[in-house]
Structure 1
């Protein structure tokens, strides 16, 4: 660790994220309203703290982002198939997750694409992970950021969602460190979300 005292902005950001996401998961009936608003707040907070990295040309970040999003989806699909082959009781949990939190209305799909995916990346990778890099080695920063990203999903009450957030957080964290491109990981997150919620849901 390079310094002993973490930036107060980082601590405040984490506290705000936990409060907002906890509130989002509190009432399933209005989840998408509160979640979308919460992410808009986190986007504003993150962008006020520093510039957004974009060191990869458009064609390259679009291709790598789309490819990584497809690969991550395929890894999750394989994971679900493996769990089912091992007769692990995940079907009910998976169906419940989709029923409670998957977008179902047109505006919710728009919010997923324009707010949720970009917002999570701007805050958790573009702000949290980027600031952790000032105090820890790259690998440690990526793991801590992924754990913190997973931690706010605890309020959903779903272990599957927490695990999925941690694994995807590791993937996007590594991509962000490797390529220093926020658009790349936003594209990756978007492709993953479109696959998992619209084209080929895992339920």
Structure 2
């Protein structure tokens, strides 16, 4: 077994991702410009480190990706309804997130679908989680990968975004491990983003 305490490629990737996300969330006015550029950098880094897995057929990754994206959206919708029933003070936080970071211009929606969703999956599942599997078991790798994915959202200054990233990271991590198909998790992420930002926003 390799030394768990040192993986230069993984550590370098995590340092780069934290640096990029720090600057991404630093100024909300230019968020989408920096976010798009940051994800392009992370895509490039991930592609040079790990091969892209694609073990599912076109029909399977399209159908399972769509269904899983809708299920994840439903989980988030139900969670928000539960917050309302329990009178937990999260509605304002959700509205604030939409106001600060939701796409508003046409090119931002394109960036969301063509860059952000694929980029996050290629880096966090296709690179980070895949590297973690060299050192940990499947469930531990999914959990740590989701935790690391959530950690870069700390720079947003909102706990609820970190929690959302952690929960979605768990699902996409499990989906990726199950089917070993990057297109599948990318489709799932895209469907989820379309639902939550375009069709039925949670605000």
What TM-score comes out, normalization by structure 2 length? Answer: 0.98
SS in structure 2 at match of 1:128: helix
The equivalent of 1:188 in structure 2 is 188
CA distance in 2, matches of 1:158, 1:35: 17
The equivalent of 1:115 in structure 2 is 115
CA distance in 2, matches of 1:83, 1:139: 28
Matches within 5 A, 1:140-151: 140-151=140-151
SS in structure 1 at match of 2:147: helix
The alignment of Structure 1 onto Structure 2 pairs a total of residues equal to 203
CA distance in 1, matches of 2:176, 2:71: 16
1:134-169 deviation per Cα after TM superposition (whole angstroms, max 9, x unaligned): 000110000000000000001001111000000000
- Tell whether the 8 Å contact from 1:2 to 1:136 is kept in structure 2 after alignment: no
SS in structure 2 at match of 1:47: helix
CA distance in 2, matches of 1:184, 1:74: 18
Matches within 5 A, 1:19-34: 19-34=19-34
CA distance in 1, matches of 2:10, 2:26: 24
The equivalent of 2:94 in structure 1 is 94
Matches within 5 A, 1:119-198: 119-198=119-198
CA distance in 1, matches of 2:107, 2:189: 19
Deviation at 1:177, TM superposition (A): 0.4
SS in structure 2 at match of 1:135: coil
- Tell whether the 8 Å contact from 1:31 to 1:101 is kept in structure 2 after alignment: yes
CA distance in 2, matches of 1:50, 1:95: 37
Deviation at 1:2, TM superposition (A): 5.1
Moved over 4 A (4+): none
CA distance in 1, matches of 2:91, 2:132: 36
CA distance in 1, matches of 2:50, 2:84: 44
What TM-score comes out, normalization by structure 1 length? Answer: 0.98
CA distance in 2, matches of 1:4, 1:160: 30
Deviation at 1:7, TM superposition (A): 1.6
CA distance in 2, matches of 1:106, 1:196: 16
The equivalent of 2:39 in structure 1 is 39
- Tell whether the 8 Å contact from 1:6 to 1:135 is kept in structure 2 after alignment: no
Moved more, 114-123 or 90-99: 90-99
Deviation at 1:50, TM superposition (A): 1.9
CA distance in 2, matches of 1:84, 1:50: 43
